[in-house]
Structure 1
Amino acid sequence: MDALAAEETKMYFYENRLKTFSGWPFDEDCMCTPENMAKAGFTHTPSENSPDIAMCFFCLKELEGWEPEDDPEKEHKSHSSSCHFINLKKKVEDLTVEEFFKLQKERHKFIINKSCNDTITKFEEAAKLKRADIIKTAMGEE
């Protein structure tokens, strides 16, 4: 397997997701431990202002504002019920090659949709700025 393919699929494995949870604010006596977060498909993607952002590696759903009693699997299912990973009936290691490729195809749909939506958002923001510039020019303001 080449390096690109390995990078593409490494987050399917629990151990790799678990490694991302260094600095996670909840580690014991709660439901959203790093272990439970990783089991539910999440990786830790903190920002400067939000140390508790977690994103599903598969559906790319980001959740923050975790509380100690939040169950990662239930939260994932309630916020992204169409995620094929959280709805898997068996372990990744037990999938057939065909099942894995079908799963990977579904993952790519999430990635493409997110990319398209991000691009549309950037375009709309740029259009708003351009529209404001045009209105300023038309009104003689500069």
Structure 2
Amino acid sequence: MATLFQTATFRNSLCTTPPPNVVASTIANSHINLTMNLSNLFPCSNPVNPHMRSEESRLQTFLDHSSSWPSHRIHATPRQISKAGMYYLGVRDRVKCWYCNGGLQNWERNDDPWEEHTKWFPMCEFVLQQKDLDYVHRIVSRFPNLRRPLIQNPANPNQLGNFQSGLILRNGHRNDGPEIIDPREEVRSIETKVDGEMSSSELIQQAKRMGFDERIIKNALKRKYEVTGNGFSRLEILVESILAMDEESASNRSEEASTTPSAESGSEEIRRLQEERTCKVCRNERASIVLIPCGHIACCIGCAEDTSICPICRLRIREKVRSFIV
């Protein structure tokens, strides 16, 4: 799923919003007439980024930075993301909502733009206007414990009927809302955890002994923490993530090479990358088996069955792990 990269503080200390983790129950118990025109109920009259109000303006940000938007790994189209209220910042896969200013990054292949927007920012008035309360209720109820940030311009609680009564939880205690997430603190926390694991985790040490580049290992570990909040629990999952990260880097390098004036050098880079991933035994099929302990990806599935010594370094093979890179 997509993750947060920036949260905004309130414009003044008098603004308040209900705790996002009780949005589902309070919406469900609200007495709002759902047949009411949602554009009247949620007019979106206080946007943080009014210059991106139109869908076409948001779409244009993707067109202006088409070379940097990672369309090769995200199924959602720029049009779909723009329709969900978000525009591209031109950096990595970072987008922001035109209305609530909520920021998302680290998109996964099958992430749905409306679902991600709603999941993280259910009090965004644009979401409530476009998707209605039932939709918001369904999405939020699936992620009851998600730590959501407070946004700059939440939907007015008075517009939500008896929304205020939802602030009183069933046990009679008042919930004053979640802790405001400081994105810089989140980054520091992840970096601390990653640095600790890089020096102490036995899985990481095994990956290093297999010959994987320490920088690639660290990047894979960092992404794992950003997406799931946890490190790796199994060596094969770590290896697959490292290979995927390495493949992504190679793809980026080949894309950069193809945009240089020298088409010949770009073709040479692609040829070299293809040769690196070819089975070293049959020289025909794609290599997809990681040989342990050396870590070389040297054989296709068929050749690996009859191979006991790595064809690259001649080290005896103790284990063979299938890699799945798409």
TM-score by length of structure 1 reads 0.51
Aligned to 1:63: 104
For 1:124, the equivalent position in structure 2 comes to: none
Report deviation, 1:35: 0.5
Q: CA deviation at 1:29?
A: 7.8
Counterpart in 2 of 1:20? 61
SS of alignment partner, residue 125 of structure 2: coil
Work out the CA distance in 1 between the residues paired with 2:117 and 2:130. Answer: 15
1:75 matched residue in structure 2: 116
Give, in angstroms, the shift of residue 28 of structure 1: 8.9
* Secondary structure at the counterpart of residue 117 of structure 2: helix
**Paired residue for 1:85?**
126
Q: Indicate if the aligned counterparts of 1:58 and 1:85 stay in contact, CA closer than 8 A.
A: yes
Taking structure 1 as reference, are residues 27 and 42 closer, same or farther at Cα in structure 2, changes over 3 Å only?
farther
Q: How far apart in 2 are the matches of 1:84 and 1:36?
A: 18
Question: In the alignment, is the contact (CA less than 8 A) between 1:53 and 1:62 conserved in 2?
Answer: yes
Q: State which structure, 1 or 2, has the greater radius of gyration over its C-alpha atoms.
A: 2
Cα distance in 2 for residues equivalent to 1:29 and 1:56: 18
Give the structure 2 partner of residue 41 of structure 1: 85
Structure 1 residue 57, shift from structure 2 partner: 1.3
Aligned-pair Cα RMSD in Å: 2.8
1:9 CA displacement = 3.1
Confirm or deny: 8 A CA contact 1:27 1:34 kept in the other structure.
no
Gaps of 5+ in 1: 1-7, 91-106, 111-116, 122-142
Tell me the SS of whatever aligns to 1:52: coil
Unmatched tracts of structure 2, length 5 or more? 1-48, 132-150, 155-179, 185-326
Matched residue pairs, number?
A: 85
State the shift of 1:59 in Å: 0.8
Structure number with higher helix proportion: 1
- Inter-partner Cα distance in structure 2 for 1:79 and 1:39: 17
CA distance in structure 2 between the aligned counterparts of 1:11 and 1:65, rounded to whole angstroms: 22
Percent identity of paired positions between Structure 1 and Structure 2: 32
Q: How much does 1:15 deviate? A: 0.2
Aligned partners of 1:66, 1:12: CA distance in 2, in Å?
Answer: 23
Alpha-carbon spacing, 1:108–1:79, altered in 2? closer, same or farther (3 Å): closer
2 CA distance for matches of 1:26 and 1:35? Answer: 12
How far did 1:108 drift?
6.9
